[in-house]
Amino acid sequence: MTIQRPTRVRHVVLWLTVAAYMITYMDRVVISSSVPSLREEFGFSMVTVGWILSAFRWGYALFQLPGGWLGDRFGPRRALTWIVVWWSVFTSATALSWNFASMATFRFLFGVGEAGAFPTATRSLSRWILPSERGFAQGITHAGSRLGAAMTPPIVVWIISVYGWRAAFVVFGTLGIAWAAVWFWYYRDSPEQHSSVNAAELDLIHSSMGGPRPNISKPVPWKKILSSRTLWYLSAMYFFYGYCLSVYLDWFPTYLNSYRHFSLKQMGFYASLPLLAGTAGDLMGGVCSDWWLKRTGDIKLARRGVAVSGFLLAAAGIIPATLTMNSVYCVYFSCIAVFGLELTVGVSWALPLDIGGDFAGSVSAVMNTCGNIGGAISPTLLAYLVSRFGWNVPFLVAAGVCLAAAALFCKIDASRQIFAEGT
């Protein structure tokens, strides 16, 4: 008797999700590489640019919960299609901006659209990815986002040099529309609904998760979710992570151009290097956590050990990157810092799956709301700090933030599932 080999539809679903994550960060960092051109055309000050960058973050943060609810209520297939189309339209619409107010409005609405992306994408994997693959899955999806971010600055600089900054937003906005069409055509909300999943893969998925889950919409138990101490430690940690990441996503190209005196073309190249290092960190963090879990069966230490190490490494890289007088060494130390910071991401996003089950979308939405409140505060606060104290202080603050995040992660217990907790 021939044993049927499992199909790998779940892996196709994973790679589609990776592509979505890539596009989210491509669309985010277009504006970071466009800042010198925007300041030249509109005469924006540092503080004004800070508010424009924060507009996206506030839209993104404030609509995390509605975005997570959308995925849990209507299913990831429909919800993620709507979400990606929305944000892609407003990515392209940024090209229509004529002043501060119009650009801030477009960026806010772009953030509203992207708000549901990560929670809904996390929910989309909850019925497909085996528990032993979750750290890797979250690591590789977030690695995809950082790879997209790393690829974008040189492309944007080239588009700006040939066609102007407005064309860059239109080009990147079209990518999401194409992805949404493919997603709606291929993805299904559960393996049972997908015609390409064979019995062996279905059995593999069900056996790893304790049986099939009913494919019905259930009210989100917000009271139970919001009473979880594990969730609030996770969310506070992610606030600090979001603050620190925003420093590199939103302001690092400008820092290299205005303070480290790289040319525009050099800026495009060197701004990509820390994000490439972060891509490696995303992959390694998820893989190491899953390996640790398989070897020991201790999910608490498997998640905690990797994340705490990553935050400590990030702080250790930021300090010499800030204090060195050599601009190239600054970039190299920043690569170490972002690598360490991104070691934590696959672990952080595996946790909503570990503790949230079918409501992983809503759990991750709470976490990501807090993360992006930190990310929303960061660009504006950095602009004020630079205006008052110069560029070194904001980066030293970021190092302290990483140490605080490491301390908080020591409180997080991935084994405390929300719906098994007593409170």
Average pLDDT over all residues of the chain: 84
Please give the Cα distance from 148 to 311 (Å, whole number). 22
Q: How many CB atoms lie within 10 A of CB 379?
A: 25
Q: Lowest mean pLDDT: which of 14-28, 106-120, 203-217, 297-311?
A: 203-217
Give the residue, 293 or 248, on which the prediction is more confident.
248
Q: What is the pLDDT of residues 83-98, one digit of tens each?
A: 999 989 999 999 899 8
Is pLDDT of 422 > 50? Answer: no
Please give the Cα distance from 402 to 244 (Å, whole number). 7
Average pLDDT over residues 269-289: 84
Is pLDDT of 106 > 90? Answer: yes
- DSSP readout, 110-137? HHHHHTTHHHHHHHHHTTTS-GGGHHHH
What's the pLDDT band for 324 if we cut at 50, 70, 90?
A: very high
Is pLDDT of 400 > 60? Answer: yes
Give the residue, 263 or 85, on which the prediction is more confident.
85
Q: Does pTM surpass 0.75?
A: no
pLDDT at residue 239, rounded to an integer: 95
Is pLDDT of 76 > 60? Answer: yes
Is pLDDT of 319 > 90? Answer: yes
Is pLDDT of 116 > 50? Answer: yes
Give the residue, 137 or 403, on which the prediction is more confident.
403
Q: How many CB atoms lie within 10 A of CB 297?
A: 9
- Determine what percent of the chain is predicted with pLDDT higher than 90: 23
Average pLDDT over residues 353-381: 82
Q: How many CB atoms lie within 10 A of CB 174?
A: 12
- Determine what percent of the chain is predicted with pLDDT higher than 70: 94
What's the pLDDT band for 403 if we cut at 50, 70, 90?
A: very high
pLDDT at residue 421, rounded to an integer: 45
Amino acid at 52: I
pLDDT at residue 155, rounded to an integer: 86
Q: Lowest mean pLDDT: which of 46-55, 66-75, 155-164, 386-395?
A: 66-75
Average pLDDT over residues 195-209: 76
pLDDT at residue 1, rounded to an integer: 45
Average pLDDT over residues 110-117: 86
Strand ranges (E), 69-183: none
In the chain the domains, ranked by start, together with CATH numbers, are 9-420 (1.20.1250.20)
In degrees rounded to 5, what are phi and psi of residue 98? -125, -10
**Which of 411, 296, 416, 396 minimizes the C-alpha distance to 351?**
416
Average pLDDT over residues 106-131: 82
pLDDT at residue 2, rounded to an integer: 53
Give the residue, 206 or 49, on which the prediction is more confident.
49
Give the residue, 153 or 315, on which the prediction is more confident.
315
pLDDT at residue 395, rounded to an integer: 94
pLDDT at residue 423, rounded to an integer: 41
Q: What is the pLDDT of residues 47-67, one digit of tens each?
A: 888 888 888 888 888 887 777
- Could you give the count of Cα atoms lying within 13 Å of 196 in the half-sphere of its Cβ? 11
**Which of 407, 54, 107, 68 minimizes the C-alpha distance to 243?**
54
pLDDT at residue 196, rounded to an integer: 79
pLDDT at residue 237, rounded to an integer: 93
Is pLDDT of 339 > 90? Answer: yes
